[in-house]
A and B are shown apart, each in its own frame.
Chain A
Amino acid sequence: MEIETEQQQAVQTKCFHCGQDCEETHWLDEKVFCCYGCKTVYEILNANNLCEYYKLDDRAGISMRQAHDEDFAFLDESDIRKKLISFDSDTFAKITFTIPAIHCVSCIWLLENLKKIETGVIHSEVNFTRKIVTIDFNPQSVKLSRLAGVLKSIGYAPQITLESKEKKNPVLTNALIFKLALAGFCFGNVMLFSFPEYLGLDETDPLLIRIFSFLNLILATPVFFYSGFDYLRSAAASFKQKQINIDVPIAAGLIALFFRSAYDIIANTGPGYLDSFTGLVFFLLIGRWFQSKTYESLAFDRDFKSYFPLAVQRLDGDAWKPVIIYDLKPTDRIQIRNMEIIPTDSTLVDDYAFIDYSFVTGESKPVKAKQGDKIYAGGRLIGQPINLIVEKSTSQSHLTSLWNNPVFGKVNESKYKKIIDRAARRFTWIVLGVAAVTAVYWQLTDASQMWLVLTSVLMVACPCALALAAPFTYGNMLRVFGRNQFYLKNSDVIERLAAIDAVVFDKTGTVTHGDKPEVEFIGKLSDEEQAIVKKLTSASTHPLSTIIAASILKSSRESISEFKEIPGQGIQGTIHQKFIRIGSPSFVGVMPLSDPQGSIVFVSINHEVIGYYHIRTSLRKNIKGMINRLGNKIDALLSGDRDTDASLLRKMFSPFTFLFFNQSPHDKLDYVKNLQLNGRKVLMVGDGLNDSGALKQSDVGIAVTDHAGIFTPACDGILNGEKLGSLDKFMALAKSATQILKVAFVISFLYNGVALGFAVSGHLTPLVAAILMPLSSISVVGFSAVAVNFVANKKLK
């Protein structure tokens, strides 16, 4: 009960800057701040008269508690500078920064008023959807490193990677949109000019009819040669590979429609079918556009390079200079600071250091390294800055060897025979059969009509509705998933997700919270004592101290005297005439506990043991239901961690789920590969760099993250950690999508059947075609939209 009321009090004091609950309070201008960083940001904004920032959006500020020192000095190196800056002259330069922290109106406002904070800035412009800011600045009055530093100081640290420079191809999507626009334009006008035909005005003015027909032909020509050209090319390519995909019957239909119409118009034998033709191309392109939805601010293709810092400090003679990590050579001496990632395998020069390998191995406890120990790339330093001697260049380090695995070289899609292509193959053979029989029949009965009927058959066989069914069904599902914070790379993933029969989980960061362990104090501590413990543990950089300090919401204004940290033992100090020791059992003088689950930290005050902190891995909430529902489908849990949590996890999972511990990234990859060799379709759910091999190898690899936009390894989908409990529902929805697609196929085939009936019997007039073809497209699209939303509402409720 006591704890509850305390928390309520804490809720009441919210930081003026970031809006989060305050553990400690810093006061300025009668406003509360949760940390020094937040207060500094307020000071900067206040000094520059930019406090409008807080009015635009309530929760604008970005908490500075997690912020760590980052040095941007390397940006001034001419090599790096050249790569980043898009335009450079003596007095004008332009750079684009990616800033994941952009999240609201205030962010846009502040970043676009950057010139008020930094005078060298000429103009800045935010693109909210892509989370980038483009800054024009005067390189003579502000250095690039200073610019990045200013951004960081107000909470918008730019994310700088040289790899992310190549942009997604906007030219390609623009081309698609213009093709679509052109097709739509021509479709509308051709319909307009076909009205006399629809209304049966043929005889009134033959000249006008001729003019309309030729106008139609002129309008349809760019649609055939520009808008619809992709289908022709794709069909030709698949012909060369002796495969039939959905584009083959489409291309056959388009060619038949266009040339038959052109013949009719030129030979003056009829008005042609150009309204149907342009309509088809228009609908097909809509389908393509609908499918092309991507999440621009998310990256699905990161490799290890994005995880590493761009540059580190290297000792050159007797000065530290920033150097790009790819230029590191063995025997170089480098300096790494708190929370930085070690870029390459190296040896430790200092006495000791704590390295957090959770990113690489999944091991949740930081490892203590002694002088001369080898430190592997990918580890994150926790604590005081250290010096290292480089052993191997970055590209040859232990970690990067994973990327030499062939799995990273191959393209994923080729493994799949898509449903749509299977359907198209069958469809094509049926159509060819019908066409042949029809041709023979008409040849025997009325040879003059044979060619007309044959082209009619090919025309209506154009499986436009079939081609629309998949993009719209999967495209809709992709949007539904996106609304529920499950972002897929593309709509093909849904098809693969539906076929999954084995699920493999990673442990740290996936099933458990990697960075938020459960802390419990066994014993009794008063408020004052808690505050003292916080004070003492805050002074230490030991990982366990950090965890304990973060779990206490009290603060004390007393100061510490005689603070001492004894490596491997614990910390001690005197606060308010109390001598406190926090650390291992032997340090405070008690017997160690038998069978501890997790870490135990004892506290003694004035040589009297008060109790101990029990620090355990905390499981994600709401996943128990999901695990039960998936049951035996969960094949294994692969953990890079030691087996301390084995009994806890054993209880959660079905008895048929294997639990493996101490798994290296390579082990995980091989496990997934073996499952696949046994014919299983594997879904891998992981989070870190250590899972990236397995994620890539699996049929569907999903990365779990708690903050969208933060590091995720290459994957097929990104799932918000809070939604992990709905994983089974997403899988069920993917299955439903496949079923909806099949029903849509049936509807589409029905239309094609009816149209074929008209064509075979020689009754396919332009009017019938103009009604039937758009109708089939629209009903298929409408059906898939309604069905997907209905199913999604039912299942995700």
Chain B
Amino acid sequence: MNIIIVLISISLTIALIFLGVFYWNLKSGQYEDTYTPSVRMLFDDKPKASSSTDKKA
């Protein structure tokens, strides 16, 4: 039965990591504009600077 305890702690840890990642995404403003990036990636001639969403603070 000990194996279940090990498995559960692994699964919980992974789940918590994902929750943390979600929190990080939310903070960095990834959900503020959900339309423009979808269009931007299709432009042939892309502006050379990389996405700067996370620079905003």
Contacts and interface: CB of A to CB of B under 8 A. Distances in A.
A and B assemble together: yes
Interface of A: 52, 105, 108-109, 112-113, 115, 122-130, 134, 136, 170, 174, 177-178, 181-182, 185, 189, 193, 205, 207-208, 211, 215
A127 B49 contact: no
Contact of B27 (A113, A130, A174): A174
Size bin of chain B's contact surface:
20 to 34
A357 B49 CA distance: 48
14 contacts: A52-B44, A112-B47, A123-B52, A127-B32, A130-B32, A134-B56, A174-B27, A181-B22, A185-B15, A189-B12, A208-B1, A208-B4, A211-B5, A215-B8
Interface string B3-18: 0110010001001000
A215 B7 CA distance: 14
A125 B1 contact: no
Nearest to A207: B1
A540 to B, nearest CB: 44
A130 B34 CA distance: 11
Contacts of A128: 33, 35-36, 39
Interface of B: 1, 4-5, 8, 12, 15, 19, 22-23, 26-27, 29, 31-36, 39-40, 43-45, 47, 49, 52, 56
Contacts of A127: 32-33, 36
Given A128-B35, A185-B15, 7 more contacts: A108-B40, A124-B47, A126-B36, A128-B33, A129-B34, A174-B26, A174-B27
A122 B45 contact: no
Contacts of B27: 174
Contact of A205 (B1, B36, B45): B1
Contacts of B43: 109, 112
Chain A interface, >50% SS class: helix
Contacts of A185: 15, 19
Contacts of B32: 127, 130, 170
Given A174-B27, A181-B19, A215-B8, A105 B1 contact: no
B23 A178 contact: yes
Contact of A112 (B15, B29, B34, B40): B40
A108 B33 contact: no
A182 B22 CA distance: 10
Contacts of B39: 105, 108-109, 128
A129 B15 contact: no
A8 to B, nearest CB: 35
Contacts of B26: 174, 177-178, 181
Nearest to B34: A129
B52 to A, nearest CB: 7
Contacts of B49: 122-123
Contacts of A115: 47
A207 to B, nearest CB: 8
Given A108-B40, A208-B4, A52 B15 contact: no
Nearest to A123: B49
B12 to A, nearest CB: 7
A126 B31 CA distance: 14
A205 B44 CA distance: 61
